[in-house]
A and B are shown apart, each in its own frame.
Chain A
């Protein structure tokens, strides 16, 4: 850690963060429902991106099947609500437990058997796909016809039962995103954060230095999975309908990882920036290609942009932006 950070730099970072938070807090007051619903998508992406970043950016474990945890969080809390009327926040705990357990099992099995790197990534895909197909046959959660949550139209927001306008979800997700930011920052400064980064840099050296590599890797996966499941549960109560193919699908897993990689892996703010950039890009593309009416143009431009960013700024956009804003030495 850079102990020589000047207090000016730290103040600049803190101010930048405060500014960002302030803007996000008041935005719904000015913007209409369309913008808010778009930002809900951004915040989902930002939050889950941060959860994924913990595992990949800090502990160095590539997971390409993170949709598994989203799906588990969503389906378990959703199904418990549909069948037993269990309140969402409690169902969410069950979802988190299931996802955390899944993460531990996958990680423990993989690392115990020495499966790392690309093989581990493929294993995560396999588990996610396996679960997707299983849920397609699982009648209790509606199978491939989907799980529909009964919707109640209320005039006011009910945060206890997670029923309300997009604005309510916006604030819940904003709080979560900032909490994840704070958690990441906290963990980075403590022993576990140092151990993770040591493992990421050179696993064997870390092992040789006496770090229980296995335990910390599993912990990273478990934490990441549990955090991701929260977003899954929120998604269930926001969308009110779930399908295994969209919840567990590989396209969701890919969406989850593109934001943090574009934004900046291993940085605190990277996933958040990535989420904003990609969603804005996507919306712009939608408007543009709607006017041109060419099917597939939007995906093409998306792919091309991804390619350009990967080739020119492989460390992500945030480090580049940080230099631009002169926040380099800051803790973000």
Chain B
């Protein structure tokens, strides 16, 4: 029983980081309606930056998180403004191929720069754990979850209270209306992509505390982000977080109850069911 609680707690904590990661994808789709297949690759690049910061300057990923978030914001902004903007109205397969190409370029760049071996970050508390009433809570995981929650909170505040945030929401709700009112839609789209990239960067920094980075994990996380976002609801921020928690816990529980090697199968099964029964996801708006 205690083992079960431990596992669920770990799943929830991991789920928070997943949520932040999926948030980036959800924001981009919700506003620009483009499917970012380079999501995982961008995150891996962010992870490598944080790794280098850790190895060269001894920066803890938690400290590096805001820095990498800012860096990725600029990168995302530039990418959208420079390349992706023209593809917004294009057919889906062209968008897909464009972002797939970007993903391949990013992944192979990390491969060229860092080689294929898995690298991990070194923090002093890497092996620490708290014991709360018999439940073992992994310190690293707890801190990562905390970071993720603060990231989500910051984003929520941005969209709720700042002018730019509200403008972006306006674009998402009604593109034409936004233009009529005089909003610089192009600029806002770029900002949105930048923000999505920020989430990716921040979650990458946190994820590096939990897993080791290597070039090939990019596609797995792109897929995971999609599963989360679809289950939670494409374009819904609380949906992304909820989806993250759900996937985190269901992976843990299914691994425990059935066989861990069937974990992913369970997640995909869940995806199929959600897509068929409620394609807008748990909290999404009707498509």
* Chain A interface residues (CB < 8 Å from chain B): 56, 62, 64, 109-110, 113-115, 117-119, 121-123, 125-127, 129-130, 133-134, 136-137, 250, 254, 257-258, 261, 265, 294-300, 302-304, 306-307, 310-311, 314
Closest 4 pairs between A and B when the two form their complex, measured CB to CB: A303-B104, A296-B111, A299-B108, A307-B101
Q: Are the C-beta atoms of B223 and A250 separated by less than 8 Å?
A: yes
Q: Write out the residue numbers on chain A whose beta carbons fall within 8 Å of the beta carbon of B104.
A: 299-300, 302-303, 306
Contacting chain A: which of B129-137, B204-212, B274-282? B274-282
Query: Considering the chains assembled together, what is the distance between the CA atoms of A250 and B275 in angstroms?
Result: 19
- Given B83, B96, B112, B226, which contacts A295 in the complex, CB threshold below 8 Å? B112
- Min CB distance, A20 to chain B, in Å? 26
Determine how close the nearest CB of chain A comes to the CB of B34; give it in whole angstroms: 10
A-B pairs under 8 A by CB, number: 119
Task: Determine whether the beta carbon of A310 is less than 8 Å from that of B277.
Answer: no
Q: A122-B226, A123-B272, A295-B115 are in contact. Are A303 and B265 (CB under 8 A)?
A: no
A–B pairs, 7, beta carbons within 8 Å: A109-B276, A122-B271, A123-B276, A129-B264, A257-B93, A303-B105, A307-B101
Q: How far is the CB of B96 from chain A (nearest CB, A)?
A: 8
Q: Is the CB of B275 within 8 A of A307?
A: no
What is the interface of chain B, defined by CB distance below 8 A to chain A? 35, 83, 90, 92-94, 96-98, 100-105, 107-112, 115-116, 215, 219, 223, 226-227, 230, 259, 261-262, 264-265, 268-269, 271-272, 275-277, 279, 287
- Please give the distance in Å from B130's CB to the nearest CB on chain A: 34
Report the bound CA distance from A250 to B100 in whole Å: 13
Say yes or no: A265 contacts B287, CB within 8 Å: no
Bound Cα distance A295, B275 (Å): 39
Closest to B270 in A: A126
**Residue contact B100 to A254, C-beta cutoff 8 Å:** yes
- Could you say which residues of chain A place their CB within 8 Å of the CB of B90? 314
Write the nearest CB–CB distance from A132 to chain B, whole angstroms.
Answer: 9
> Given the known A-B contacts A261-B97, A310-B94, are A114 and B279 also in contact in the complex, defined by CB atoms under 8 Å?
yes
Tell me the bound Cα distance from A49 to B97 in angstroms: 15
Q: In chain B, what residue has the closest Cβ to A123?
A: B275
Asked if residues A311 and B98 are in contact (CB atoms below 8 Å), the reply is: yes
Q: Nearest Cβ in chain B — how far from A245, in angstroms?
A: 12
B111 in complex: contacting residue of A56, A110, A127, A295, CB < 8 Å: A295
Q: Which single member of A126, A137, A265, A307 contacts B268 (CB below 8 Å)?
A: A126
> Closest approach, in angstroms, between the C-beta of A26 and any C-beta of chain B?
35
- The binding surface of chain A is classed by DSSP as helix
Indicate the member of A113, A258, A303, A311 with the most B CB atoms within 10 Å. Answer: A303
Task: Give Cα distance in the complex from A113 to B115, angstroms.
Answer: 45
**In the complex, chain A residues whose CB is within 8 Å of the CB of B96:** 62, 64, 121
Q: A114 to B275, alpha carbons, bound, how many Å?
A: 10
Provided the pairs A113-B276, A126-B272, A250-B223 are in contact, do residues A134 and B265 lie with their beta carbons within 8 angstroms? yes
Q: Are B279 and A119 in contact (CB under 8 A)?
A: yes
Known: A136-B261, A299-B104, A306-B100. A125 touches B223 (CB 8 A): yes
**A300 with B112, Cβ < 8 A, contacts A118-B35, A137-B261, A307-B98 known:** yes
- Chain B residues with CB under 8 Å of A306's CB are 97, 100-101, 104
Q: Which residues from chain A contact B97 at a C-beta distance below 8 Å?
A: 258, 261, 306, 310
In the docked arrangement, what's the CA distance between A136 and B116, Å?
24
Q: How far is the CA of A3 from the CA of B262 in the complex (A)?
A: 56
Expressed in whole angstroms, the Cα–Cα distance for A314 and B90 within the complex equals 10
B109–A300 contact, CB under 8 A? yes
A260 to B100, CA, bound (A): 15
Q: Which of B259, B268, B287 has the most CB of A within 10 A?
A: B268
A64 — nearest CB in chain B belongs to which residue?
A: B96
Q: Closest residue to A298 on the B side, CB-wise? A: B108
A163 to B97, CA, bound (A): 37
Contacts of A257 in B (CB 8 A): 93
Given contacts A250-B223, A310-B101, 8 further A-B contacts (CB under 8 A): A113-B275, A115-B275, A122-B226, A137-B262, A254-B100, A299-B107, A304-B101, A306-B97
Q: Is A118 in contact with B92, judged by CB distance below 8 angstroms? A: yes
A311 to B90, CA, bound (A): 11
With a CB–CB cut-off of 8 A, which chain A residues contact B110?
A: 296
Q: In the complex, what's the smallest C-beta–C-beta distance from B262 to chain A, in angstroms?
A: 7
Contact B93 A62 (CB under 8 A): yes
Point out the residues of chain A lying under 8 angstroms from B275, CB to CB: 110, 113, 115, 119, 122-123, 126
How far apart are the CA atoms of A265 and B93 in the complex, in Å?
10
Which residues of B lie under 8 Å from residue A122 when comparing CB positions? 226, 230, 271, 275
Please measure, in the bound complex, the distance between the C-alpha atom of A115 and the C-alpha atom of B278, giving whole angstroms: 10
* Cβ–Cβ contact A113 & B92, under 8 A: no
Contact present for A113 and B271 (CB under 8 Å): no
Contacts of A303 in B (CB 8 A): 101-105, 107-108
Q: Do residues B105 and A304 form an inter-chain contact, with CB atoms below 8 A?
A: yes
Residue of A nearest to B34 (CB): A118
CA distance A135 to B79 in the complex (A): 39
Taking each of A250, A300, A310, which has the highest tally of chain B beta carbons within 10 Å of its own beta carbon? A310
Residues of chain B contacted by A129 (CB below 8 angstroms): 223, 264-265, 268
Known: A121-B92, A130-B265, A265-B93. A307 touches B105 (CB 8 A): yes
A294 to B109, CA, bound (A): 11
Question: For B90, B94, B108, B111, which residue has the most chain A Cβ atoms within 10 angstroms?
Answer: B108
